[in-house]
Amino acid sequence: MTRFQTISIIGAGAWGTALAAVAARAGRGVTLYARDPDHAARIAAARENPRLPGIPLADSISITADLAQAARAAAVLIVVPAQHLRGAVMHLAPLLPDGTPVVACAKGIEHGTHKFMTEVIAEAAPHATAAILSGPSFADDVARGLPTAVTLAAQDEALAADLVQALGSPTFRPYHSTDVRGVEIGGAAKNVLAIAAGIVAGRKLGASALAALTTRGFAELVRLGRAFGARGETLTGLSGLGDLILSCAGPQSRNFAAGLALGRGEPLPAGKLAEGQYTAPVLVELAASRGVEMPVAQAVAAILAGTVTIDAAIEALMLRPFKAEE
Ligand SMILES: NC(=O)C1=CN([C@@H]2O[C@H](COP(=O)(O)OP(=O)(O)OC[C@H]3O[C@@H](n4cnc5c(N)ncnc54)[C@H](O)[C@@H]3O)[C@@H](O)[C@H]2O)C=CC1
Ligand SMILES: O=C(CO)COP(=O)(O)O
């Protein structure tokens, strides 16, 4: 029996709504918070979020635009884009009872500060307890109840295990971990690498190039993880390799779809959040600050910034000096 019988979700986008369905399936009392009262009213009336069309919301999920009501849960999941995390947590912090677990579900690194998601939570809500949930999980798959497995990490293993009990069900299988940084690095980096994979597909470079790019991208993710003390089993686990495989597999990933458009010379898909776009420059800065080589991520950042053409970036990657595989 979990301590966390009630769960609130802050952020009523695609992933927040899918996680509300997860918590409801696990038998929890669920509150889904939408910042915009009109959006909240529309979801409540239709029992469906336009971000996840065709998926009815369970009756047990209450929708609110009242943050104080959302703060009255035993545990809170924060599901807003990475660059909005600090603002969302700052509003929530004064309303939260001390020690409330606040689980980051975004994948990214904060611009300017280079902080990971749980570090932002720890700064913006010092009386809360930060955790992270990440892994291969498309909102649409999860909301439909298709089988999914993710990693849920907190510094306190008992807390991570209890949060797993609160959210797990026969269709959603979280594994607990204490390697918070390893989980955060995997989720942030894979989005940038998925853009690169999409570019390779958009340029029609072939299946061999896609496999090479994904593998060498993973080598970068591992190098960065090691520099931050991440565990090998986290980097090769669900939140690292697992999520990279999912996001590099095709256009169901918004990051892959963004890369696909870039590779084809088309405009980026409108209204679809591709976090890798925002993570790329900060990931590259962070890697440079630790002396970690991430040539694929660097190429993505340069392409997005418009400082290099796609063809020049591909040529530069292929013309790097030959080296040992590591
Ligand atoms: N969609 C997916 O399949 C998955 C997404 N994620 C991650 O979850 C995060 C959110 O992604 P999505 O839900 O897909 O994006 P989305 O664009 O569908 O929704 C984001 C929501 O956050 C809300 N929001 C923004 N700032 C807010 C604030 N200060 N307070 C309250 N709400 C705020 C927006 O109004 C919007 O409803 C991203 O970091 C993404 O990488 C992770 C796993 C799966
Ligand atoms: O993080 C995700 C799957 O685990 C969602 O990927 P996209 O944001 O690329 O769609």
Q: How far apart are the two ends of the chain, measured CA to CA in Å?
A: 45
Average pLDDT over residues 29-58: 96
Average pLDDT over residues 119-130: 98
Residues having CB within 6 Å of any atom of ligand 2: 107, 136-138, 191, 194, 243, 246-247, 253-255, 275
Q: Which ligand has the nearest atom to the CA of 32?
A: 1
Calculate the alpha carbon distances from 82 to 28, 79, 105, 240 in Å: 26, 9, 9, 18
What distance in Å separates the CA atoms of residue 107 and residue 132, rounded to the nearest whole number?
9
Edge-to-edge strand order for the sheet containing 6-10? 61-64, 29-33, 6-10, 75-78, 101-104, 129-134, 148-154, 172-177
Q: Which of 17, 19, 51, 107 most suits a substitution to test ligand 2, by most atoms within 8 Å of the C-beta? A: 107
**Residue 1, pLDDT score:** 81
Average pLDDT over residues 34-44: 97
For the stretch 297-311, pLDDT in tens is: 999 999 999 999 999
ipTM over the 0.90 cut-off: yes
Instruction: Please say whether the beta carbons of 193 and 296 come within 8 A.
Output: yes
Residue nearest to atom 16 of ligand 1 (CA): 13
Q: Which atom of ligand 2 is nearest to the CA of 134?
A: 4
For the stretch 9-25, pLDDT in tens is: 999 999 999 999 999 99
CA of 28 to the centre of ligand 2 (A): 25
**Residue 314, pLDDT score:** 95
Which residue in the list 115, 190, 272, 323 is annotated as catalytic? 190
Percent of the chain residues topping a pLDDT of 70: 100
**Residue 15, marked binder:** yes
Q: Which atom of ligand 1 is nearest to the CA of 12?
A: 37
Q: Is the pLDDT of residue 202 over 90?
A: yes
**Residue 225, pLDDT score:** 98
- The reported pTM is 0.98
Using a 10 angstrom Cβ sphere, with 0-12 exposed, 13-18 middle and 19 or more buried, the burial of residue 221 is buried
Taking 3-state DSSP, the helix, strand and coil percentages for the chain, each rounded to the nearest 5, stand at 50, 15, 35
Q: Which atom of ligand 2 is nearest to the CA of 137?
A: 4
Residue nearest to atom 5 of ligand 2 (CA): 138
Q: Is the pLDDT of residue 177 over 90?
A: yes
Average pLDDT over residues 82-94: 98
Joined tokens for residue 83:
């660059």
Q: Is the pLDDT of residue 159 over 90?
A: yes
Average pLDDT over residues 229-235: 98
Q: Is the pLDDT of residue 262 over 90?
A: yes
* pLDDT bucket at 326, cuts 50 / 70 / 90: confident
Average pLDDT over residues 247-254: 97
For the chain, the average pLDDT equals 97
CA of 171 to the centre of ligand 1 (A): 22
**Residue 276, marked binder:** no
**Residue 86, marked binder:** no
Residue 190 annotated to the active site: yes
**Residue 177, marked binder:** no
